[in-house]
Structure 1
Amino acid sequence: MLQSGERLRSLSGRRVAVVGAGPGGLATALLLAKAGLHVTLFERDKAVGGRTKTVEAPGGYRFDIGPTFFLYPQILADIFANCGERLEDHVEMRRLDPMYHLLFEGKDGLSGEIRATGDESRLQAEIARIAPDDARNLPAFFAENRTKLNRFKPVLEQAFDRFWSMVSPAMLTALPHLHPGRSVDGDLKRYFADPRVRLAFSFQTKYLGMSPFRCPSLFTILSFLEYEHGVYHPVGGCGAVSEAMAGLARTLGVDIRLGARVEHVLFEGKRASGVMVDGEPFNADAVVLNGDFAGTIRALVPESHRPRWRDRKVEKSRLSCSTFMMYLGIEGRMPEGLGHHSILLARDYQRNIAEITGGTLSKQPSLYVQHAGFTDGGMAPPGHTALYVLVPVPNLKSGIDWEQARPAYRRLVLERLRLLGIADIESRLRYERVLDPRDWRDEFAVHQGATFNLAHDLGQMLWFRPHNRFGPGLYLVGGGTHPGSGLPVIYEGARISARLLIEDLVGAKAPALRELPGTSPLAT
């Protein structure tokens, strides 16, 4: 293996073009710049962050556009440490307790509730109020998923650009814990008889845009991650993290060019050799694409350079659901019992999910509400509230006429907020923005408005998902790429892509981009 000094000399003068300043692009740029590469980051927007940004609306309201919290921020902290910095010196991350308030809809209102907490004894007490027998099984569920996560973590950290990766030592160790024939809900039935309790540990599959009744049982680790490692709110919103990453990247020498539209990737033979930006070529030794996979790959890479992902295959790929969003600036306070996160789970949740995946607009939807002002007073002016409302809906493949459906669906969502104790807000609205799947497609370049990217079924995971090393000189990061969607997983994908890129340029195996705080394996 090359020593660090030799490695830096091998990388000296090498240029990398990173396209897209979302979380994956920012993380990759940081790691590559720390390794000694000259990194230029192109972003078509006027701000960094992609969908992980915070916007200020008229009236002083602040809203996260997409993700509203951080799960398992240790990976992000590791990336900052790899760059010789401490995450906490750049962003204040507040751990939420309770993490969220789950409300289960019944026949005539609510049929129960759970205030989810990482304190196991308190969580048992919460569950015992609606299902005493299930509460007793909580320690066993946590113990099994602690083992499952430990076994599968090395799998999420490895590249799957060769089919033989499917029989790597990490995969063989993890296989006994995968149970491919079981869904998340089916796996949870071994511990929890009450469907409401199972929902408390399975609704997290919405982070992947999938149904808990079809999502592979592996993903029970999502809820375990929340309980074991916490849910965090970055003060100032999730965009504060993106801005902190961009600030550190600039310190490391990354040239961030905002308002720069990349038209396509340039190739010399089979190898990516740069990008065309606003009509001008930019030559590079390697190119990293960070964006919605299905849309970005077809727009920027000719079909001849993606034989495993031709247009027909991309179009036939299975996509996640979309979301109907409301960003509401409200004069006055919220009800006293409304916490930071509230989740209303529809009375017939299984039917609700079947409607979403089947392309039908539900008349009794589940919804998620973020009241960030409960934790962070800077998200709205004094005496006002910034409310973020998300409703999972079918993606645009459903053919729903959103021009016609949108006004009525808006009224329906406002009416369902009453179940959370949020009533009579329309007269107090001082700002309102609504996004439906068309907006995700048109404003944010999300293919078919599928906000959680490619679905995470077994046929679109690991080797079967788009590879981090997509071709000679061309690398991918983002939710459509291995390991998958969700901020911690995207950051892990950035570490994989950066490591592969460095290995290819150096011509030797690079060490893992994960070291003790304040050190970097690529520093002299």
Structure 2
Amino acid sequence: MGSAPHVVVIGAGLSGLAAAARLRARGFAVTVVESAATPGGLVRTETIDGHNFDTGATILTMPELIVAPLTELGVPRGEVLDRLALAPVDPGYVMNYADGTTLALPHRADRIPEAVAEAFGPGPARGTAELLQWLRRVYDAEFDVFIDRNYGGLGDLTGADTRRAATELVKLGTLGGLTGAVARFVSDERVQRAFTFQALYAGVPPHRARAIYAIIADMDIGRGVWAPAGGMGRVGRVMAEALTDAGVRIVYGVHAQRVVHSGGRVSGVVVDGETLPADAVIATAERDRIADLVGRRPRRRLRYSPSAVVVHGLLPVEVTETWSAGHHTLDFGAAWSRTFAEITGRRGAPMTDGSFLLTRPAVSDRDTFTAAAADGRRLESVSVLAPTPNLDNAPLNWDAIADPYVTETLATLAGRGYRGLDSLQVLRVDHPTTWLRAGLPAGTPFSAAHTVAQTGPLRTRNTWPGLDNLFVAGSATVPGVGIPPVLISGGLAADRVTDRLADAFSPAPAGSVR
């Protein structure tokens, strides 16, 4: 047996950190290179003009997917949880509808039917209880076989486990439309929205999405939302600190410039002019960025998810406390199908009767997300997300229209009951052109859409054509977009590396490194 092979991971987002943790736990030498000054990628907390904001992903579900790779490193589960300092977000969502009704979804799934009954009556509550059971069955049939799994070829798609899982999913009716599947349990459109809006994460309108995407609602509503103390950026910091303690080298503020390869194999990564030798490489960037590093432009054109305008600003606490709002608030316009057509269509347009996400992390963590103003009042950090079409579907001049669009959006929400929101002290606006300048294709932080041709085994593979030791992790590859999928993708990429280098090196037992 030779010395431990060296793996270079490009990117210290959650997928790269998860991959590095699993590889280091198996005895590999690992170096992570990251262009930013901090870990976490698009899961981050930033200080803007002295105030804290979660400026990337704001919704954390399935924290066990963070715990698992760190326990493989030998960190006890209880210690990982202590480091993450998670609090349940309760209610997980406050949903405000155009007809003036409100549904506050409890953190615990067994309490959700009671909340539905209080908002909409006993009929929808009974249907919701049955729906939650169905969602869990979809998860159980789908997760291990179709999500947390590497595919090696046609045989994997026709094996006994796959056939059993596929048979169960057919029995559950998941090959039809998502909205129709949910409507079998609840006829109230307001409740349907609560369990289908998650299709936006996949970049597909709910009425066109397959019911297999119902698994997202189970991950989200069915399993509860969590908040780490100090903001979402804590997740990346905790993971990176555990990696460093375990001997992983993480280098910040450096840029990968080229993946060195010849004869179908990668031999290193050029980082700010220096070549880091590598027996394998995991790249966590978007597909076209990886293609630039390799020097081989892919032929297949991808369709991307919608983008968003995100406003970060401040309001006095005495203003925000008057709202019907929680940590995460979904405010639905009267339109629904039309809204999704506008933001996902090939000729997209800004929403004419929008639905929005308001985020107030101070509801869960007041000390981090409020600060004293000069006049002694407490100011709260507030973020508003407005979905928009991406730049492929609507090449708008956001540098010119972002400010008036933000003004209109805040005024709309102020008129819907969020009194004073139109006086938000705006500190930063991110929009499709902002995301494009950050290197995100089509100006969207939500990566490739989960269309039929870009989901499951048809999504961009986590192996790279023609280079047998270059692997891919992150939202651009399998299993997809969102914190749970990207964490899973890191583990899948680590498994690819382990399998590929097994002949040259016998990995250490999991959990042997500390």
Could you state the TM-score of these two structures normalised by the residue count of structure 1?
0.89
Shift of 1:31: 1.4
What 5-or-longer segments of structure 2 have no aligned partner?
373-377
Alpha carbons 1:275, 1:281 under 8 Å: kept: yes
In the alignment, which residue of structure 1 is the partner of 2:94?
Answer: 101
Q: In 1, are the aligned partners of 2:360 and 2:383 still within 8 Å (CA)?
A: yes
| 8 Å contact from structure 2 (residues 411, 422) kept in 1 | no
Q: Write the letter of the residue equivalent to 2:133.
A: A
One-letter amino acid matched to 1:133: G
Give the counterpart letter for 2:327 in structure 1.
Answer: H
**C-alpha separation in 2, matches of 1:426 and 1:104:** 19
Q: Percent identity?
A: 27
**Could you say what secondary structure the match of 2:308 adopts?**
strand
Question: 1:345 maps to which residue?
Answer: 332
Using a 3 Å threshold, how does the CA distance of structure 1 residues 472 and 263 change in structure 2: closer, same or farther?
same
Say if 1:120 and 1:472 are closer, same or farther in 2 by CA, change over 3 A: closer
1:233-272 paired onto structure 2 within 5 Å: 233-272=227-266
Give yes or no for the alignment of 1:22 onto 2:17: no
1:121–1:13 CA distance, 2 compared to 1 (3 A)? closer
Q: Indicate the SS of the match to 1:396.
A: coil
Q: Who is 1:226 aligned against?
A: 220
Q: Which amino acid aligns with 2:239?
A: M
Q: Distance in 2 between matches of 1:75 and 1:273?
A: 31
Residue in structure 1 matching 2:105, options 113, 116, 127: 116
- After superposition, residues 48-197 of structure 1 pair within 5 angstroms as 48-58=39-49, 60-85=50-75, 86=77, 87-106=80-99, 110=100, 112-120=101-109, 122-128=111-117, 129-130=119-120, 132-155=122-145, 156-176=147-167, 177=169, 179=173, 181-197=175-191
Instruction: Choose which of 185, 190, 193 in structure 2 pairs with 1:199.
Output: 193
Q: Is the Cα–Cα contact under 8 Å of residues 163 and 463 in structure 1 kept in the other structure?
A: no
Per-residue CA deviations over 1:239-285 (Å, capped at 9, x if unaligned) read 00101111111111111111111112110211111111112222110
**d(CA) in 2 for partners of 1:200 and 1:22?**
29
Q: Alignment partner for residue 463 of structure 2, among 462, 469, 478?
A: 469
Distance 1:209 1:375, change over 3 A: same
Matched, 1:312 2:313: no
Residues 116-142 of structure 1: per-residue CA shift (max 9 Å, x gap): 124456422332332542221122222
Code of the aligned partner of 2:166? L
TM-score, normalising length: structure 2: 0.91
Distance (Å, rounded) in 1 between the aligned partners of 2:257 and 2:226:
37
Of 286, 290, 295, 1:292 maps to 286
The count of residues paired between Structure 1 and Structure 2 equals: 493
Indicate conservation of the 8 Å contact 2:5/2:505, yes or no: no
> Residues 108 and 224 of structure 2 are in contact (CA less than 8 Å); yes or no, is this contact kept in structure 1?
no
Partners of 1:151 and 1:170 within 8 A in 2: no
Q: Counterpart amino acid of 1:162?
A: G
Instruction: Confirm or deny that 1:411 pairs with 2:407.
Output: yes
Superposed CA RMSD in Å reads 2.2
**Higher mean C-alpha displacement, 332-341 vs 78-87:** 332-341
The answer to which of 213-222 and 223-232 deviates more is 223-232
The residue that corresponds to 1:440 in the other structure is 435
Q: Deviations over 1:32-82 (max 9, x none)?
A: 122221211111112211111111111x31111211121111111111211
CA distance in 1, matches of 2:430, 2:7: 34
CA contact (8 A) 2:138 2:214 kept: no
For 1:374, the aligned partner's letter is V
For residue 112 of structure 2, what is the amino acid of its counterpart?
L
For 2:84, what is the secondary structure of its paired residue? coil
Cα pair 1:465 1:481 within 8 Å, conserved: yes
Quote the offset at 1:370 in angstroms. Answer: 0.8
- In the other structure, the counterpart of 2:487 is 491
Q: Residues of 2 paired with 1:428 and 1:388: CA distance?
A: 10
Question: Residue 364 of structure 1 is aligned with which of 353, 356, 361?
Answer: 353
1:335–1:421 contact (8 Å) kept in structure 2: no
Contact 1:216 1:457 in 2 (8 A): no
SS in 2 for 1:381: strand
**CA–CA distance in 2 between the matches of 1:91 and 1:371?**
20
Q: Is the 8 A contact 2:107 2:224 kept in 1?
A: yes
CA contact (8 A) 2:283 2:472 kept: yes
CA contact (8 A) 1:360 1:394 kept: yes
- Per the alignment, residue 479 of structure 1 pairs with 475
- Match status 1:34 vs 2:20: no
Contact 1:338/1:420 (8 A) holds in 2: no
Distance 1:332 1:521, change over 3 A: closer
**Partner Cα distance (1:79, 1:376) in 2:** 26
Q: Cα distance 1:264–1:39, how it changes in 2: closer, same or farther (>3 A)? A: same
* Structure 2 CA distance for partners of 1:408 and 1:160, relative to 1, 3 Å: same
- The answer on whether the counterparts of 1:91 and 1:244 sit within 8 Å (CA) in structure 2 is yes
- Paired AA for residue 216 in structure 1: R
In 1, Cα distance between the equivalents of 2:108 and 2:47?
A: 35
**1:509, distance to aligned residue in structure 2 (A):** 11
After superposition, the Cα gap between the structure-2 partners of 1:488 and 1:173, relative to the gap in structure 1 and judged at 3 Å, is same
Could you tell me how far 1:191 is from its partner in structure 2? Answer: 1.0
